[in-house]
Amino acid sequence: MKKLFKLFMMGMLIPLLSLFSCSDDFLDAPSENQLTPADLPEGVTAFDGIAESLYFKPWFTFNDKFLIAVGDMYAGNAFSFDGAYAQFKDAQVTSQNPILTEGYVSLFSVVDQSNNLMSLVEERKSELPEASYKKAIAISRFMRANAYFYLVRTFGAVPIISKAGSAAQPKRNLVADVYKFIKQDLEYAVENLPEKPLKKGYVTKYVAMGILAKVHLTLNEYGESLALTQQIIGNQYKLIQEYGNLFSSPENNNSAESMFALQWKAIATEWGTQNTNQAYIVPGGTGITGGGDGWGVYLPSISLQAGFEPNDTRKKNTIMTDGDFYPELLKNQGGFTYKKILSSTGANFRKYIVGSAAERNDVFFMRTSQNTIILRYSDVLLMHAEAILAGAGSTTSADALIAFNEVRSRAGLPAKTILTRDDLFNERRVEFALEGQYFFDLKRRGIAEATAIISQQEVGFYSDDARTDLVSRKITPGNNYFELPLPQSAIDTNPSLLEPPVPFNFN
């Protein structure tokens, strides 16, 4: 265990991100250092550095392709001709799909590293102040809960790994037990995370409340969700004025609207600490990145483009359409004007494009420092409205309308006087496009309703240069659409995953 303290003290001298990007096996490095907690700065423990790594490193391949492929492309927000992505676009994802496998492994890496941190803290519990002990456990359980929330919504029944050194071939557990496990982790986090972030970008008890509120919404537990969103609203988070700054300017990372975000850092000599999204999003051949990346791998679907109301200011910050001018891109050329010929759907995404190395010192090939926001305040406002709606077709509740219209007002849209279920989910679609939420929002509407919506979405492309000759394509979800297959490599390693799920022992 002495090695942990040496690692942390090194982290006081060099960037933590560099320290933990060298190897996934950072806990295995031997050390003869004899430091104890008493040697560390007041209020800081040796476990803080390891906890900080939980904000980025194990999430890397989840963010690299999986989040957008599952959360947006699979549900009809994005289009692609690329092979592995095309399975998501066509709703024909196989167990051999590499993107599926990478995301699954990444999420269980979050679980594994969270469990490892808790195990290390437990071993040194007697040497730590109680507050430091609880804080380390709380952040571990918060991260683990988030990983499981993505896992259960994507794959259904999965194994619950509650501690380091668990059985090598665990069985899947009941979906209801996975959700119970998630709730317990988040409830602990709510009780033991601080009210204010200890460092910019760190999560608080209110962030844990926000994730827990979404868990309750997913389970149609509207009263519980409402009680949580009521505590968050008006506290320390607020909408920022410039919507685009949330996704396309790393200097605005961890704004007043950002509640939980993956904290990326672009390091030219390191891999796995950065956000790679720009490389896949930038329209091919435009030179916006200033390097060899920028491939336009996934494109806004025709359906998503049609989902924006006229004069919605979010549209230009989310997708590029014909004639849109961006003075902040290709500055040395006087800016960038988008032409629809660049895309077979007549548009490209704008979110997560930050520019080139010539314009910024934190951009390298397939590397930016742009955070990936998992939870932001606008989500809490819309969850609040959804919890009040409580599955009904509409509501005139003043509280629901105030929260809902606050999001619309920022987008330059007129206020609603009646909130319908369709209004709410349409608003969520455009507000969170390319943020990996749409598939899970559709699932929350119920299989019958979601199936009807997906079946009506235009997810085809244009075959001519004028982008007028539509090759129409629509997807009718099958019986297995709403749970993706477990990766074949995971099954090969652990054949018990094919067995029926079993109850989890919570004792």
Residues 449-484: tens digit of each pLDDT? 999 999 999 999 999 999 999 999 999 999 899 999
Contact 298, 78 (CB under 8 A): yes
Burial code (b: 16+ CB inside 10 Å, e: under 16) for 145-156 equals bbbbbbbbbbbb
- In the chain, % of residues over pLDDT 70: 91
pTM of the predicted protein model: 0.91
Overall average pLDDT of the 290-310 stretch: 97
Query: Does 87 or 131 have the greater pLDDT score?
Result: 87
CA 296 from centroid of its chain's CA atoms: 20
| Amino acid (one-letter) located at 86 | A
Q: Is 354's pLDDT higher than 60?
A: yes
- In the chain, % of residues over pLDDT 90: 86
Residue with tokens 């672009």: 266
Query: pLDDT confidence of 66, banded at 50, 70, 90?
Result: very high
Distances (CA, A) of 102 to 66, 115, 334: 7, 20, 39
Q: In the 3-class helix/strand/coil scheme, how is 185-202 assigned residue by residue?
A: HHHHHHHHCCCCCCCCCC
Please report the pLDDT score of residue 45 as a whole number. Answer: 57
CA gap 392, 161 in Å, rounded: 37
Specify whether domain 44-193+485-498 bears CATH 3.60.40.10.
no
Query: pLDDT confidence of 127, banded at 50, 70, 90?
Result: confident
Contact 501, 157 (CB under 8 A): yes
Q: Is 21's pLDDT higher than 90?
A: no
Indicate the average pLDDT of the chain.
91
* CATH 1.25.40.390, the chain: domain bounds: 44-193+485-498
Residues 420-435: tens digit of each pLDDT? 999 999 999 999 999 9
Q: Which of 347, 250, 339, 249 is nearest to 286 (CA)?
A: 339
